[in-house]
Amino acid sequence: MSDWTTEATDVIERTVAMVRDRTVEPAQAITRVIVYGLLAALIALPAVVLLTIGAFRGLVLLEQGYIWAAWVTLGGIFVIAGWFSWTKRNP
C-alpha cells in the first residue's frame, strides 16, 4: 500500500507547478519585453535626436554656412526616408 501523504504532496506540487507555468511564465515574458523595449526607446530616441543635430551642424559646415541648404538637404533625407517607410507599410 502506498503512502497517501506522499501522493497528496506530489499532486499539490504538480498542480502548483502547472499553475505557475500558465501564469507566471507568460507574465515574466511580457514584462521582459516591456522593460527592454522601454530601455531601448529611452536610449535610441536621444541618440537619434543628437545624431540629427550633429548632421545638421555638419551640413552647415559642409555647405559653408548656408543654413537653408542644410535644411533642404536634411529635409530631403527625411522625406525620402518617410516615402520609403510609407511604401513598406501594410494597410
Looking at the structure of the chain, the number of domains it has is: 1
pLDDT per residue as tens, the chain (91 positions): 568 888 889 999 999 999 988 888 888 989 999 999 999 999 999 999 999 999 999 999 998 988 999 999 999 999 999 999 999 988 7
Distance CA 73, CA 66 (A): 11
Q: Which domain holds residue 83?
A: 4-87
Whether pTM > 0.95 for this model: the answer is no
Q: What angle do CA 61, 47, 34 make, to 5 degrees?
A: 165
